[in-house]
Structure 1
Amino acid sequence: MSLVHIWPGGVGQDSWISKLCVGLLIACSVTIIFWVASHRIRQMVLWKIPGPPPPSRITGNYTQMFHASADKFHEHIFQTYGRVIRITGLLWDMLLIVSDPRACTSILLKDQDIFEETDWFIQLNRHAFGPGLLGTLGAHHRRQRKQLNPVFSSKHMRSMLPLFHKITLQLRDVLQNKVSDGPQDVDVVEWFGRIALELIAQGGLGYTFRSLEPDAEENEFGKAIKEYSPTLSGLIKFRTIFPLVAHWPSWLLRFGAKLVPLPRLHNIIRLTDIMHRYTKEVFHEKKRLLEMGDEAFAQQLSEGKDIISVLMKSNSASSEEDRLPDEEILGQMTTLLFAATDTTSTALSRIIHLLSQYRDVQEKLRQELTEARIRAGENELGYDELIELPFLDAVCREALRLFPPFHFISRVARADASIPLSQPIKTAAGALSSIYVPRGTMVTINIQAINRDEAIWGADAAEWKPERWLAPLPESVAQARVPGVYSNTLTFLGGGRACIGFKFSQLEMKVVLSHLIREFRFSPSKKEVVWRFGGIVSPSLKGSNAIVPQMPVVVERVR
């Protein structure tokens, strides 16, 4: 049955409305086909770049790229095709995977205004978390960072150290109770999620979820954060479709999403609703306290030193052009809670997993921490003492180098561009020292590949060796000029969209490890743990289909 016969203008009647509708449908179809065809023609220049053959004419290499065990695929293509790889996407769309240092410098620093975040990433985060740092671009994003930079400075981190110690001691007490009768299997990823949430809640918002109190159930907000990334990873194959509807108003997007028969999509809506509900409650309470004056702010858990309290006070004193509207501050709150909880809890879980396997490294670290605690006497370790512990620092740096919480970051070329390369690549058309990237092409930086590149780090680049940081690094590390903000790696990215909270995360991990390693010994569980690829790499039990991360480890008191 044709559209003409079912249109309300009348059964079988060729009304002008039905003709107009059919005409518009044809015009839209032709426009989309023309746009896709012209984009594919522009991308023909990328065919000469080597890459894996696509197993599907429709989805290309997407299934291989985003599978839960996609790490093996990415390691294979890096070893086979090198630092620049052509990948076939949906409907023969071409994209590039890059791990060349000079190319990364161009993308993240020199030409960062050309290589911006993808539309699907920006719009997805705007709908999920509001117009925070993850949901804005260009000048808008820079204005937000300008307001937030002071509260992530080393000076401000120093002032938060006593709070970090206090919260970590709560976790220590919880674990002591759990293993009071001897060694026990403990799902540490759950407890690292709880403490990461509590640290950013109290240190970032001046609010507590009470998730580390005796016999406390895991908070609804914490559960939502843990579920969000694994749930979203199951929808990543639809990301090329999202930009087509991303600019719809939120109410219409939600209505449409509920009509789509995808349980994961419905769950994403539920999880974002939970996160928004909590942050709105906190925001309105803080706004009320701000109106009451500094004394009311000082009565909070953080004594008004938390990130959002400082931001709100600074914002109220800012000029009109620099001031952030309430909607953006609320967006920053949700963004900070999510980003700081998920990545840091994953990083801590990875470090404990490694230390449980490398018992000699664990014992060496325990000795350093015990000696530092003796030197401190009755006081907790100060900021300088903690930051400067060489082996603790080496363990953190090596774990974050070898196992970054997320492996990829994508950018899209907003204009035609040329990316220079550190070393020429061999193609069907000869050696290339730079790559022409047509407008609209997605370029993905492989963080793990550049962090493990043997040409940069040496033949043992794929090995976990914390002691490499206790001696001068190979000259090749400095010569590579990797454009990251942390330890010659891209773990926390670089450029204008680098992780603004990496100092917060570093301090958090070191405080937690300084207490737990001194008090507990960690050993592998009999239950095998595997690391699942997704937006953020997360641990799970081998053979388990559970969405929520799991990582049991045998924990016992150190006698």
Structure 2
Amino acid sequence: MDLVAASVAPLRMDTHPSRLFLHIATYIFSGMAFYILYRLLKRFVRIYRSPLRSIPGPPSTSLFFGSVTEVSESDAYRLFERWSTTWGPTFRYSSIFNANKLYTADLAAWNHVLSSELYVKSNILTRFSPAFSTHLSTGLLFVEGTRHRQLRKIMGSAFSYAQVKQFTNIFFSKSLELRDIWMVELSAEERTEIDVFVWMNRLTLDTIGLAGFDHDFDSLQVAGVPGSHSEELLQAVRDLFTFNFYTVSFMIQLFFPLARLFPTKLSRVSSTAIETIRRVGLQMIAEKREISRAQGSTKGLASDLMSLLIETTMAKDIPIEDRMTDSEILAQIPSVLLAGHETSAVTVTWTLFSLACSPVVQRKLREELWTIDTERPTMDELMSLPYLDAVVREGLRVHTPVGFTERIATQTDFIPLLVPVTDVDGCQRTEIRVQKGDKVYLPLRAINRSRDIWGSDAEQFRPERWLEGIPEAAKAIPSAWSNITSFLAGAHACIGYRVALLQVKSTLFTLIRHFEFELAISPEDIIRRNNIVGRPYLGSDPESGAQLPLLVRAHKRDADELN
């Protein structure tokens, strides 16, 4: 008996709960260790075998951040420009976790990549957030392939010239409302310092709310009503698209999916934001659908983007394949708010900065604007003003709202080059081979400010270049509008560029007619930081957030009335 007892004793100890938990934990952590090792090994092999390794470029200096260690990759435009002087318009650099990435400002490469369906936009948000993939990834900014073409066709009528003209009164009503608010502030003093970035954000939020959803956020008057649908929706979109891609925790969760099982502050905020967009958005859709039913026939009654999209799900004469589901309509909300609100706000802000730096240009523009004898010109009248057009083109060129975009190769391909590259073996190449998964970095800002394309004054704000005739080299830039990259080109060209141009021009028309702008601080203290769009910050106080303080005074015609 003693011998039998002794033989089963170890078995009883092994089945003790604490020992059993220890064994299970050991297996789990061993499995995770092998999984991480497998992922790292697979990634190392892929990097080692990448054809991009034969392309010269700056060396890697960090395991996590590769070649880009001075600033985050999204803010590395100056670093990339310096590298271009050494390595030329096309080179390879090491990105996060030392992944090879191809940087190219070669126009032949741009034409190829942007026009080919072999290259898709980054799926970083979809990979990071299953909720995003489920509810929002069918937005026009993110969907690819056949459905992307179908959505562009469906939404095309909402962004036609005839439809955009209907927004003219909205844009002028809001810009005049802002004018009146500023006039009140100036009534007690000759000039005052105004953070124009804050006001441009409020203005464009109100206008895109009305044009996109027939909803006035009323942020010019107040910051919205706490707890209202508008404030919930706005905050959710801001939370979803304002975060740092370059933290260690984010990168670990991005490349090791099992790590996403452990919630972080970022994942919690993102999930909450997505659920808010879904809940509030579906309620807005239901309310609009009910209004459409009450009106009977919906065809031709819609004036805002969401109502137009709802028409496609209700009108009997629209083919089934051309109709959008509620989920697809919902997914357009963050796309419209992000593309229509943020990009227009920073465009007007940076253009006002350049006009404050260039009083002669500002004065010349004001003289042209005062040739119009109404505060509310038609869209055709507004678009016919040549110097205003030149100022807007130059503002978009010098201060490209989105500084870069990326594309991922979906299969092996050869990218043609206008400027050959000499590889590490000394062979000259007129094309570069990429494999499935390789990323191509396309610097929008660098193309718009390239001296090789625009001349020695490429970084100067000089609207006259558009009246004199742009260089021949610039005419080869792939572009949806005006030979600049600001609205991109190809399948993912900005579908709402007419709305953006109307917004920017109407705002400048009103503000420059009635106010004079001067710099409140040294221009060298204004820096640019990117979080999808390039916002202005104070180099002396970046922690205070995006801002652009300018000194504003009423123009003489209005100053006389104030006095």
- Residues 145, 390 of structure 1: alpha-carbon distance in 2 compared, 3 angstrom cutoff: same
CA distance, structure 1, for counterparts of residue 14 and residue 501 of structure 2: 62
| Corresponding residue SS for 2:533 | coil
Match of 2:448 among 426, 451, 454: 451
- Asked if 2 retains the 8 angstrom alpha-carbon contact of 1:540 and 1:550, the reply is yes
The aligned counterpart of 1:423 is: 419
Match of 1:61 among 64, 67, 77: 67
Q: Does 1:179 align with 2:186?
A: yes
The aligned counterpart of 1:242 is: 254
- TM superposition shift of 1:102: 0.5
- TM superposition shift of 1:163: 2.1
Q: Does 1:432 align with 2:429?
A: yes
- TM superposition shift of 1:438: 1.6
CA-to-aligned-CA distance 1:387-418 (integer Å, 9 cap, x gap): 12111111111111121111110111110111
| Corresponding residue SS for 2:429 | strand
CA-to-aligned-CA distance 1:285-335 (integer Å, 9 cap, x gap): 21221221258999xxxx731111112113322322222110110111232
- Residues 509, 243 of structure 1: alpha-carbon distance in 2 compared, 3 angstrom cutoff: farther
- Asked if 1 retains the 8 angstrom alpha-carbon contact of 2:212 and 2:304, the reply is yes
The aligned counterpart of 2:154 is: 147
Q: Does 1:390 align with 2:386?
A: yes
Match of 1:473 among 467, 470, 474: 470
The aligned counterpart of 2:349 is: 349
The aligned counterpart of 2:93 is: 87
Match of 1:284 among 283, 286, 295: 286
TM-score normalized by the length of structure 1 = 0.86
CA distance, structure 2, for counterparts of residue 107 and residue 458 of structure 1: 25
- TM superposition shift of 1:58: 3.6
| Corresponding residue SS for 1:132 | coil
- Asked if 2 retains the 8 angstrom alpha-carbon contact of 1:226 and 1:548, the reply is no
Number of residue-to-residue matches in the alignment = 531
CA distance, structure 1, for counterparts of residue 496 and residue 402 of structure 2: 15
- Asked if 2 retains the 8 angstrom alpha-carbon contact of 1:63 and 1:237, the reply is no
Q: Which amino acid aligns with 2:289?
A: K
The aligned counterpart of 2:8 is: none
The aligned counterpart of 1:199 is: 207
Match of 1:107 among 97, 104, 113: 113
Give 1:544-559 correspondences, 5 Å limit.
Answer: 544-546=541-543, 548-559=545-556
- Residues 95, 161 of structure 1: alpha-carbon distance in 2 compared, 3 angstrom cutoff: same
| Corresponding residue SS for 1:135 | coil
Between 52-61 and 8-17, the greater mean CA deviation after superposition: 8-17
- Asked if 1 retains the 8 angstrom alpha-carbon contact of 2:520 and 2:551, the reply is yes
- Asked if 2 retains the 8 angstrom alpha-carbon contact of 1:413 and 1:440, the reply is yes
- Residues 514, 295 of structure 1: alpha-carbon distance in 2 compared, 3 angstrom cutoff: farther
CA distance, structure 1, for counterparts of residue 343 and residue 239 of structure 2: 13
CA distance, structure 2, for counterparts of residue 391 and residue 115 of structure 1: 38
The aligned counterpart of 1:119 is: 123
- Asked if 2 retains the 8 angstrom alpha-carbon contact of 1:230 and 1:547, the reply is no
CA-to-aligned-CA distance 1:351-409 (integer Å, 9 cap, x gap): 011111111111111000011x22xxx57211111112111111111111121111110
CA-to-aligned-CA distance 1:442-491 (integer Å, 9 cap, x gap): 1110111111222222222222211000012222222xx22210211211
Q: Does 1:525 align with 2:520?
A: yes
CA distance, structure 1, for counterparts of residue 73 and residue 14 of structure 2: 43
| Corresponding residue SS for 1:521 | strand
CA-to-aligned-CA distance 1:418-455 (integer Å, 9 cap, x gap): 10001112232221111011211111101111112222
The aligned counterpart of 1:403 is: 399
CA distance, structure 2, for counterparts of residue 391 and residue 485 of structure 1: 21
- Asked if 1 retains the 8 angstrom alpha-carbon contact of 2:312 and 2:324, the reply is no
| Corresponding residue SS for 1:422 | strand
CA distance, structure 2, for counterparts of residue 172 and residue 214 of structure 1: 15
Q: Which amino acid aligns with 1:200?
A: I
- Residues 265, 351 of structure 1: alpha-carbon distance in 2 compared, 3 angstrom cutoff: farther
- Residues 98, 497 of structure 1: alpha-carbon distance in 2 compared, 3 angstrom cutoff: same
The aligned counterpart of 1:3 is: none
Larger Rg: 2
- Residues 72, 279 of structure 1: alpha-carbon distance in 2 compared, 3 angstrom cutoff: same
- Asked if 2 retains the 8 angstrom alpha-carbon contact of 1:120 and 1:239, the reply is no
- TM superposition shift of 1:155: 1.3
CA distance, structure 1, for counterparts of residue 144 and residue 346 of structure 2: 27
Q: Does 1:489 align with 2:484?
A: yes
TM-score normalized by the length of structure 2 = 0.85
- Asked if 1 retains the 8 angstrom alpha-carbon contact of 2:104 and 2:440, the reply is yes
The aligned counterpart of 2:508 is: 513
CA distance, structure 2, for counterparts of residue 26 and residue 159 of structure 1: 60
CA distance, structure 1, for counterparts of residue 91 and residue 303 of structure 2: 46
Q: Which amino acid aligns with 2:91?
A: I
- TM superposition shift of 1:538: 0.6
- Asked if 1 retains the 8 angstrom alpha-carbon contact of 2:213 and 2:306, the reply is yes
The aligned counterpart of 1:503 is: 498
CA distance, structure 1, for counterparts of residue 348 and residue 172 of structure 2: 16
Q: Which amino acid aligns with 2:150?
A: R
Q: Does 1:48 align with 2:54?
A: yes
CA distance, structure 1, for counterparts of residue 21 and residue 174 of structure 2: 72
Q: Does 1:543 align with 2:540?
A: yes
Q: Does 1:188 align with 2:192?
A: no
The aligned counterpart of 2:166 is: 159
- TM superposition shift of 1:345: 0.5
Between 533-542 and 126-135, the greater mean CA deviation after superposition: 126-135
- TM superposition shift of 1:159: 2.0
Structure 1 unmatched ranges of 5 or more: 1-5
- Residues 122, 347 of structure 1: alpha-carbon distance in 2 compared, 3 angstrom cutoff: farther
- Asked if 2 retains the 8 angstrom alpha-carbon contact of 1:457 and 1:474, the reply is yes
| Corresponding residue SS for 2:215 | coil
- TM superposition shift of 1:337: 1.4
- Asked if 2 retains the 8 angstrom alpha-carbon contact of 1:225 and 1:342, the reply is no
- Residues 228, 516 of structure 1: alpha-carbon distance in 2 compared, 3 angstrom cutoff: farther
CA-to-aligned-CA distance 1:236-288 (integer Å, 9 cap, x gap): 9835742654xx9xxx96xx56x32x5x5555555555555543442232122
| Corresponding residue SS for 2:432 | strand
- TM superposition shift of 1:152: 0.6
- TM superposition shift of 1:189: 0.9
Structure 2 unmatched ranges of 5 or more: 1-12, 557-563
- TM superposition shift of 1:217: 7.6
